[in-house]
Structure 1
Amino acid sequence: MVNFADDAPGYLTIRVSAPDGPMAELADVEAWTAREKYPQIMSGGSPVFGVARERPQGGWELLSSMVDVCPQSAREHLGMLCREQAAKAGEAGDAESQQRYAALGERLDWEKIDEVELDARYRVVRAERHIRSGPDGPEPPRPSDPDDHPERDSADPHRRDRTEDLDPTAGFVMDPARPTGMSEGILKADLLQLRPVEGQFPPEVHEDALRASLTHPGVVLLPAAFTVAELVGSRWRPGGMMDAPTAFQARDILSMRLRVAEPIERGLSSEQRVRYIEAADQLEAEQAYELAVEDRFLRIIRVERAVRFGPDGPEGPRPSDHDPQDPCMVLDQRLRAQGVVLDENTPIVLDETAKEFQRLFEAEMARRGKPVQHAEDDGE
């Protein structure tokens, strides 16, 4: 690891400083312990995308959770920001700016654009996902990781008096020149050296990674995210769940899946469904990180996320990134050419599988004290 001179570009620096408080010191100790217990750094799978805004005082502020697995979802967020700025300009009587911002929003309905200029530069940014692993598998959440554990009414264990969901990435400022703890600084250096293994990935993925190491040689670590992995045979595999910003929310999503989605996806019998519900109850009651249900073993795991930086700021989507979605008007135009006309007033007819999913979802939301309005059954 290298500490560059004070006049080195910020994106080329890894500045190490002492922890600025007890919690930061605890987090640094836990990170060092994790290096010993989970020494292997593995790819966490597909990258994720979000939107960031350049700050006049330096750095880039995240405006969305870094959970989108395709760049187009982040581009749609850019379009929303353009329309918000157009509305603000209209309220301020600035017709010229209103027209310019609205035109940018319309372009994003038709084109794949990864950066726009509004009151500042806004950019779709890309983050790599990594997982620490050791002899007992991938790393679970750490005690110092921020969480949003709800206070429950002791008289009713199913009632949730939960606070607003915590997302540590909300408003997070990415600045590679900011000082970091020793363990985080070492992790930055480790991640900068990682490359897709040639022959195990398509050539274009390997080439893009090598190019990024030259165009964006710096790195910023984002707050950790959390997801689920499943032990299948002797190997851990993704649990089919998107990243969550806290361990509690990962448990919450897993509980929902066990009660709603997996009974349908796996075609569970009535007896099996009871066992899945019992497992979900145990997961919630114990606030556990691991779960056994029938012959399955699942674990909530910690995901490290890193954004590469260069002289012009954070890295955007790469040409080789999975980007199958089209802008909304391009999709609408294609469907119309195929004779499919989308009409929001057309009733949606649910098949039996969808009806079952709706029933289980509404029952679960009612259990959580958040009943949803029943949709009209247009299939009858």
Structure 2
Amino acid sequence: MSDHPQAPPGHLVINVQHREDPVSLVTEADAFAASRGYGNIVVRGPLFGVAEQRRGERPRWRLLTDMDTGCPQDARDALNSRLWFKAKDETDDPKERRALLDAVARLETEPVNELTVGDTRYRIVRADEFARTGEGRLEPPRPTDVDTEGWDLSAHTPSTTKGFVVDHAAAVGLTEGLERMGLVPVSYTSERFPPGVLADSQRALRTHPGLVLLPVVFRVMEREEKSWSMASSQQPTPQDARRSLVYHLKTFLPLTEELDEQEAAVYARAAEAFTRRLRPNGLNVRGRRFEIARIERMMRVGPAGPEGPRRSDIDDQGPTKIHPTMDEWGNITRDE
């Protein structure tokens, strides 16, 4: 703190506030109990998304995507589409449309990680996905995690990540404040990572010393001999993940593993039995173990805001043209 005698910058402030309302007290107690039972963390790797910062909102950034893509180019493509459809559907001003389309043109040919259109800055941002572990298992959903109900496989809960405001100095509870403090020095250390990845991880501790926790999500995980593999995409609630497991067992596995009718029926019966349980978080079938895991994501923050892609992040896709050509008047040309 001696480097900032007046007031520390926002990206270094963790604003902890004690809250006396019953919900906060129960949530704090639940988080404290979980930290004792699941005291280790396993970092899976980076995720990427798109954030925006509008004039008047600085230093805050707002997430525009779910932070669920594994490569920076996937996020750039998402921004490409967002700006193209904004030009198509959200303006009648030729000047504004041309500015949006010029940004799209750059994204079609350059691996751009930040650009400004009008009063809005857009950035490709990065977060690390991790899970807490204890006694050889991943942390399941907590009793106080927001949940939904029902087994309609077509039901989808709205994202808890889109619209999330990245504000390092926003007030948080005591347990989250302590968790953030404990995660600040975390970097990649495993020998399975290449030297460049390890070096970039250490460098990020200096360039982006702040840290924000994104909304918690949930995944279906399958236990392997010495590790876990993902069996679903990230989901906003435990029940959405449970529905994903039912789909995985009844539809995905029979197709991808080419199960015969008898084997497929075993998985289908297991899925049906799973739906008859009250908020189930684990299932054994055919010698396989599936669990609903609580997944967290930490985003590093520096003086200029959220961290972008690192040089060592895997990014083997190139930019490409996604949508037809449009002019500033909204006329669309179907490219041959």
Instruction: Name the TM tier (shorter chain).
Output: 0.7 to 0.9
Amino acid in structure 1 at the alignment position of 2:263: Q
Task: Provide the rounded CA distance (Å) in 2 between the counterparts of 1:244 and 1:120.
Answer: 29
Following the alignment from structure 1 to structure 2, what is the Cα–Cα distance between the partners of residues 265 and 161? 20
Cα shift readout 1:226-277 (whole Å, capped 9, x = no counterpart): 11222234x3412343222221121122211111121232232322111100
Report the equivalent of 2:242: 251
Aligned partner (choices 230, 241, 248) of residue 232 of structure 2:
241
Q: Which amino acid aligns with 1:26?
A: V
Structure 1 stretches of 4+ with a deviation exceeding 3 A read 87-90, 158-162
The answer to whether the aligner puts 1:222 opposite 2:214 as a matched pair is: yes
SS at match of 2:188: coil
Match of 2:9 in 1: 9
Q: 1:42-61 residue pairs with structure 2 within 5 A?
A: 42-43=42-43, 45-55=44-54, 56-58=56-58, 59-61=60-62
Which of 270, 293, 308 in structure 1 is aligned with 2:261? 270
How far 1:40 sits from its partner (Å)? 0.7
Q: Which amino acid aligns with 2:137?
A: G
Aligned counterparts of 1:46 and 1:8: Cα–Cα separation in 2: 30
Residue 25 (structure 1) shift: 2.5
Deviation at 1:61, TM superposition (A): 0.9
- Aligned counterparts of 2:138 and 2:238: Cα–Cα separation in 1: 14
SS at match of 2:300: strand
Kindly report which structure 2 residues correspond to 1:58-69, keeping only aligned pairs within 5 A, or say none. Answer: 58=58, 59-69=60-70
Q: Does 1:146 align with 2:138?
A: no
Shift of 1:20: 6.4
Change (3 A) 1:46 1:199: closer
Correspondent of 1:297 among 267, 286, 289? 289
Residue 264 of structure 1 aligns to a residue whose secondary structure is: helix
Rounded to whole Å, the distance in 2 between the matches of 1:329 and 1:97 is 21
Q: How does 1:123-138 map to 2 (within 5 A)?
A: 123-138=123-138
Aligned residue in 2 for 1:97: 96
Residues 301-358 of structure 1 show CA distances to partners (whole Å, capped at 9, x for unaligned) of: 011101100000000111111212222239xxxxxxxxxxxx999xxxxxxxxxxxxx
8 A contact 1:229–1:236 mirrored in 2: no
Aligned position for 2:327:
none
Q: CA deviation at 1:129?
A: 0.9
- Residues 176 and 220 in structure 1, CA contact (< 8 A), matched pair in contact too: yes
Q: Which has the larger radius of gyration?
A: 1
Is 1:79 equivalent to 2:80 in the alignment?
yes
Distance 1:294 1:24, change over 3 A: same
What letter corresponds to residue 242 of structure 1 in structure 2?
Answer: S
Unpaired runs of 5+ in structure 1?
Answer: 151-157, 331-342, 346-380
Structure 2 CA distance for partners of 1:83 and 1:232, relative to 1, 3 Å: closer
Higher relative contact order (CA 8 A, sep 6+): 2
Three-state SS of the structure 2 residue aligned to 1:263 is helix
Work out whether residues 231 and 248 of structure 2, in 8 Å CA contact, stay in contact via their aligned partners in 1: no
Q: Structure 2 CA distance, aligned partners of 1:39 and 1:126? A: 24
Q: Give the 3 Å change call, closer, same or farther, for CA 301–160 of structure 1 in structure 2.
A: closer
Match of 2:26 in 1: 26
CA contact (8 A) 1:10 1:177 kept: yes
Contact 2:152 2:243 in 1 (8 A): no
In structure 1, C-alpha distance between the alignment counterparts of 2:158 and 2:21, rounded to whole Å = 21
1:161 CA displacement: 9.2
Cα deviation, residue 72, structure 1: 1.4
8 Å CA contact 2:153, 2:247 repeated in 1: no
Residues 143 and 96 (structure 1 numbering): CA distance in 2 closer, same or farther, change over 3 Å? same
Q: Per-residue CA shift, 1:132-170, capped at 9, x if unaligned?
A: 1001511001121122323xxxxxxx76795x5132112
Residues 220 and 244 in structure 2, CA contact (< 8 A), matched pair in contact too: no
Shift of 1:89: 7.0
The alignment covers a number of residue pairs equal to: 319
Name the SS for the 2:321 alignment partner: helix
- Going from structure 1 to structure 2, the CA distance change for 1:159 and 1:48 (only over 3 Å counts) comes to closer
Task: Summarize the Cα distance change of 1:302–1:159 in structure 2 as closer, same or farther, 3 Å threshold.
Answer: closer
Change (3 A) 1:317 1:344: same
Structure 1 residue 48: Cα displacement:
1.0
Write the distance in 1 (CA, Å) between the matches of 2:123 and 2:268. 42
Provide closer, same or farther for how the CA distance between residues 266 and 170 of structure 1 changes in structure 2, counting only shifts above 3 A.
same
Q: Please, which runs of 5 or more residues in structure 2 have no aligned partner?
A: 323-333
Aligned alpha-carbon RMSD (Å): 2.5
